[in-house]
Amino acid sequence: MALTHLNARGEAHMVDVGDKPESRREASASGVIRMHPATLALLADGGLPKGDVLATARIAGIQAAKRTHELIPLCHSLALSKVTIEFQLDSARSSVEVTATCRLNGRTGVEMEALTAVSVACLTLYDMCKAVDKSMEIGEIHLNSKTGGKSGDYQRLETGAPIVTGECAAGEVSLGTRCDAISPCIRVKCLAELRERLGVGELSVPLASLARADVAGLKEALKEQDPRFAKLDEGRVLCAVNQVMASDTTPITDEDEVAFFPPVTGG
């Protein structure tokens, strides 16, 4: 596949889009800024010295989308019909996810606009919060999807999304203590929709923290540790001990694997 921004001599050039038909084009991009949990709490409560962080970052992202052609050398200037910037605060990962969507009826794609909007919104979040946290990290900036145009639709494959549940990236679990070799421990997994609802995939619970060594006792200990686990009592939540279906009265011992999950929906 050839690079369209290079001419026959390999020099950079701007693609002539004058003869391309107009079509409705949309692109969505996202990125993440990780921060200290205390910074995220201040951001959520509006307690940061520079004022309303999210509103400022939203405006910055929209402005950036409109000025993409000034920043990226071979981008055309586009009359965008819509730019939206959304923020998702994730306390489990202690981060803010920024998603930008750009749209226009025109002759060229808007993915650079969406990516620029996300980047500048993340930078603005950094600027707004840096007084209290300089260790913030921006990452995972990528195109999610793009529709319209000759090159066809694109949908990012969620290779990062677990198809094997109960396994998450290092550092994703902020709860509980890791099992060490000495004290007896239970490995707890939350699967599928429950994992997303709780924001926890995997954690370890010391056996000693259980008042009763069974599933009901484990649930109590989890709720004591974090109020989010009250959701274990909401709706139908199933449980397996060492991969065999279990109930509240199933006994638990050291090194057991206990999984909580919603009703199954395969087939």
Catalytic residues: 127
Count of C-beta atoms within a 10 Å radius of residue 11: 8
Smallest separation (angstroms) from other proteins to the CB of 65: 22
Give, for 210, the enclosing helix (H) or strand (E): none
Under DSSP, the state recorded for 211 is S
Contact 35, 134 (CB under 8 A): no
Instruction: Name the 3-class secondary structure at 136.
Output: coil
- Read off the tokens for 25: 């084009």
Smallest separation (angstroms) from other proteins to the CB of 24: 15
Binding site for other proteins (CB under 8 A): 155, 157-158, 161-166, 189, 191-193, 196, 236, 240, 243-244, 259, 261-267
Contact 95, 14 (CB under 8 A): no
Contact 20, 148 (CB under 8 A): no
Under DSSP, the state recorded for 94 is T
> In this structure, which amino acid lies at residue 242?
N
- Read off the tokens for 154: 């694109």
Measure the CA–CA gap between 145 and 84, rounded to whole angstroms.
Answer: 14
Smallest separation (angstroms) from other proteins to the CB of 240: 6
Instruction: Name the 3-class secondary structure at 259.
Output: strand
Smallest separation (angstroms) from other proteins to the CB of 214: 19
Smallest separation (angstroms) from other proteins to the CB of 264: 5
